[in-house]
Amino acid sequence: MPELPEVETVRQGLAKWVTGRTIRTVEVHHPRAIRRHLPGDAHFIALLTGRTIVDVARRGKYLWFPLDSGDALIGHLGMSGQLLMQPADAEDEKHLRIRFTFTDDGPELRFVDQRTFGGLSLSEGGAELPDEIAHIARDPMDPLFDDEAFVARLRGKHTEIKRALLDQTLISGVGNIYADEALWRAQLHGARPTDQLTRPAVRRLLAHVRDVLGEAIVAGGTSFDELYVNVNGESGYFDRALNAYGREGEPCHRCGTPIRREQFMNRSSFSCPRCQPRPRTIRH
DNA sequence: GTAACACCCTGATAGC
DNA sequence: TGCTATCAGGGTGTTA
């Protein structure tokens, strides 16, 4: 389940492996993997073949590869996507969707994705920042992230705090896992109304979001199973440091109360009933 | 304009 | 054993 730390780990790995290399061939093995590329696979392949990758960039959970043509290859891992470097003679993965080979005959780049929520697309003229992902906010690790603008925008919204943390146009890179972890650290329930939080409370929460993401980046990202591995095929191990996510019934690391699980937006939220009491006012 | 929800997908797991 | 139901969840499109 790649969130910002996992995607950043992949970005760093890919940057070392593909920067400066020229694409020889592109194979699309599954149409859904390029469903966001509306002109279709022939166009996708034509604009990539012979192009040199000049960098690997990221915004939130999106990656993009600026090309020497001024275009950019955009990638999103979705829930189960992987971008793997593999020797040409390595056996095809069961869920191999797209294969890139390079003119130097070095390792191939493979996009592998079991659940096909992820995908690649090509952005013409998008080397600097693709239009397709311009609506995604900067992430809190970005030096240009504007803390006070975030605080003001969040407090101006009429929604719940966890919804706001998952809104990628407000703050990017945070998914279900790190939202729960940051809320646990801030001792806030995810249903707290954003318009009733004080500025200092939002600043504290933002600091916790940064801490959680930063620690996870150092640890190489969270991984619960083999669905996520980094570019070298190695799983991260941040899951050992989780305080809330996935710990239903286990004692809170702060007060010992069993962690509760609640349904939220068709998924699960984990929190401590004592440290993170539900707000008294119920919104509708 | 804003908020909330359905939907896409496959494999693991639970229940019968 | 083998079937069906449920769950995981990011981002987009649709609805309210």
Cα(A158)–Cα(A164) distance, integer angstroms: 9
Indicate if A121 and A12 belong to the same structural domain.
Answer: yes
Indicate if A164 and A107 belong to the same structural domain.
Answer: no
Nucleotide nearest to A245 (CA to C1'): C8
User: Could you check: is the Cβ of residue A35 within 7 Å of any atom of nucleic acid strand C?
Assistant: no
C-alpha dist (Å) from residue A278 to A56, A82, A170: 42, 37, 23
In a domain, A280, yes or no: no
Residue A267 a catalytic site member: yes
Indicate if A129 and A156 belong to the same structural domain.
Answer: no
What is the per-residue pLDDT for A229? Answer: 53
Structural domain boundaries enclosing A162? 147-271
Q: Which of A86, A104, A133 is the last residue of a domain?
A: A133
Residue pLDDT, tens place only, A239-282:
557 899 888 888 999 999 999 988 887 788 999 999 999 887 54
Indicate if A121 and A49 belong to the same structural domain.
Answer: yes
Q: pLDDT tens for chain A, 284 residues: list them.
A: 678 888 888 888 899 899 999 999 999 998 889 988 888 899 999 999 999 999 999 999 899 999 999 999 999 988 888 898 989 998 898 889 999 999 999 999 999 988 888 899 999 999 999 999 988 999 999 999 999 999 999 999 999 999 999 999 999 989 888 899 999 999 999 999 999 999 999 999 999 999 998 888 887 655 544 444 555 444 454 555 789 988 888 899 999 999 998 888 778 899 999 999 988 754 44
Indicate if A89 and A181 belong to the same structural domain.
Answer: no
What is the per-residue pLDDT for A224? Answer: 45
What is the per-residue pLDDT for A226? Answer: 47
What is the per-residue pLDDT for A10? Answer: 87
Indicate if A103 and A154 belong to the same structural domain.
Answer: no
The C1' atom of B8 and the CA atom of A152 lie apart, in whole Å, by 34
Q: Which of A133, A156, A175 is the last residue of a domain?
A: A133
What is the per-residue pLDDT for A239? Answer: 56
In a domain, A277, yes or no: no
In a domain, A119, yes or no: yes
What is the per-residue pLDDT for A73? Answer: 95
CATH number of domain containing A15: 3.20.190.10
How far the first Cα of chain A sits from its last, in Å, is 30
Indicate if A116 and A163 belong to the same structural domain.
Answer: no
In a domain, A141, yes or no: no
Indicate if A102 and A156 belong to the same structural domain.
Answer: no
Q: Which of A110, A133, A156 is the last residue of a domain?
A: A133
Indicate if A117 and A22 belong to the same structural domain.
Answer: yes
What is the per-residue pLDDT for A227? Answer: 47
User: Could you check: is the Cβ of residue A268 within 7 Å of any atom of nucleic acid strand C?
Assistant: yes
User: Could you check: is the Cβ of residue A263 within 7 Å of any atom of nucleic acid strand B?
Assistant: no
Instruction: Give me the amino acid identity at A279.
Output: P
In a domain, A99, yes or no: yes
List the structure tokens of A169: 């146009």
C-alpha dist (Å) from residue A176 to A83, A140, A190, A266, A269: 22, 16, 11, 11, 8
Number of folded domains in chain A? 2
Please give the order of strands across the beta sheet that includes A108-113.
A23-28, A96-102, A108-113, A81-86
In a domain, A82, yes or no: yes
> A57-59 and A62-66 as β-strands: parallel, antiparallel, unpaired?
antiparallel
Is A157 one of the annotated binding-site residues?
yes
In a domain, A160, yes or no: yes
In a domain, A138, yes or no: no
What is the per-residue pLDDT for A67? Answer: 97
